[in-house]
Amino acid sequence: MGNATLTDMTLLPSVEPAAGAVPGMAASSSGHGSKPKKKTMKSLYLQFFETAPDEKSRICKLCKKRYCMTTATGNLGKHLNNRHPGYCQLSDGDTAQTTTISGMFSRSKRSQSLARRAQAQSQSQVQPQPLALVKPHPQPKVKPVIDIDHVNWLLLRWLISSSLPPSTLEDSMLIDSCKYLNPPVQLWPKEKAHEITLQVFRSMKEDVKAFLQLVSSRLSITLDFWTSYEQIIYLSVKCHWIDESWALQKVLLDVCRIPYPCTGPEILHVLMNVLQEFNIDSKILACTHNNSQHAIHACHELRQELESRKLPFCYIPCAAQTLKTIIEDGLENVRPVLSKIREFILETNSNQEMMEDFKHWTEVYQEGSWKLPFEHSANWSGDYNMLDVVKKVTYSSYSVFNFLS
């Protein structure tokens, strides 16, 4: 039994002495005139627990943790295995005596404290020696791994959203800024940026084409023309429709270059290519254009083409463009006044003191509150706002007009 561990056996069976094996024991037992009592089965785990003074719980001799008296010995064994691994290495003599086990840790703590005192006294007697400062070796900084392609993709999205050419990626200032942030960064050449932009555009076009096939209602298109700084005329085609929830939807179909001489036939040819590419030429109900004669001619030819297939179609001029033309003609007589008003507004917007004075005098003359800075755009809405300011704040702006004149 001395070589067996506690994990090998949980219970020790009681052993009855054999008859005639030990005469002394037999004589003593016969002297009492009664049969010897059986020894109760006692768990080895209980040797590491002591009964509490209240006799209602057991206390671990190693860590003083309490357990109820009705706690199974298996749970006590789990406590010893989990909290005190190696407890089975204790000798039988130590485990038999409660004072030995409980006092083992106190003696070790007392011996450790005595050793510390002796070490402190020896150090106080020895003269302190200057300690050499050991500089800690700096740990190398781990640089974050940067995905170069992701950086280029973010720059490409910036170029697209800002309507900048791919050659912007070859700008020396941009390259130096990126290399300052991370030297290994290599920007894409403009050829690769141009190729990836076209791939993204084709992919998005396919998504729009598939989506339009699911639209059950008729479609309307709008045409917008503009001229680049290279004197190239472009046409953008937008599609509008009302979905099942009566919400207005729109999407840009394409931006195309109109070949020279940019007249009605050329516009019609480009427009039909776009409609047929998206397979919506039979679903077009109306077209809105910018009132130019070439656009009117192209829409007229388109209506004849669709009516020959018995498809209803109408084209209408842009109301905003028509209103802009009317207003610009009406404001032609007051252009000198508008120029002077624009100078006043620019001067007021650029001078904080003038804005404060303007607010003060509008309060004195009770000419309302105004949002600063003023709008001074060159379109007809900006002209209208400037005339509205002069009409409603005549007294407040009178002295400023005299100063500017």
CB distance 315 to 286 below 8 Å: yes
For residue 351, the Cα-to-chain-centroid distance in whole angstroms is: 41
Q: How many residues does the chain have?
A: 405
State the DSSP code for 369: -
pLDDT greater than 70 at residue 389: yes
Domain ranges within the chain, ordered by starting residue: 1-14+42-100, 148-197, 215-317, 331-404
Q: 148-161 vs 190-212: helix axis angle to the nearest 10?
A: 70
- The tokens describing 109, both together, are 């703590």
Give tens-digit pLDDT for 228-254. 888 899 999 999 999 889 999 999 999
Q: How far apart are CA 70 and CA 112, in angstroms?
A: 38
Enclosing H/E stretch for 238:
strand 233-242
Query: CA torsion 374→377→380→386, rounded to 10°?
Result: 30
pLDDT tens for each residue of 53-97: 888 888 888 788 888 877 777 778 788 777 777 666 654 444 444
Helix, strand, coil percentages, rounded to 5, for the chain: 50, 15, 35
Lowest mean pLDDT among 108-122, 134-148, 170-184, 198-212: 108-122
| Cα gap 90→84, rounded to integer Å | 11
Least confident of 27-31, 207-211, 348-352: 27-31
Q: Per residue in 325-367, pLDDT tens?
A: 888 888 788 888 888 878 877 887 888 887 787 777 778 777 7
* Residue 86, pLDDT score: 67
pTM for the structure as a whole: 0.49
User: What CA–CA distance (Å, rounded) separates 119 from 305?
Assistant: 108
Amino acid identity of 47? Q
Structure confidence at residue 115 (pLDDT): 54
H-type helices in 84-168, by residue range? Answer: 92-96, 98-125, 148-161
Residue whose C-alpha is closest to residue 45's, from 12, 83, 77: 77
State which fold the 215-317 domain adopts. Answer: Nucleotidyltransferase; domain 5 (3.30.420)
Tell me what pLDDT residue 131 has.
53
C-alpha–C-alpha distance, residues 15 and 241, integer Å: 99
Report which of residues 15 and 321 the model is more confident about: 321
What 8-state DSSP symbol labels residue 197?
H
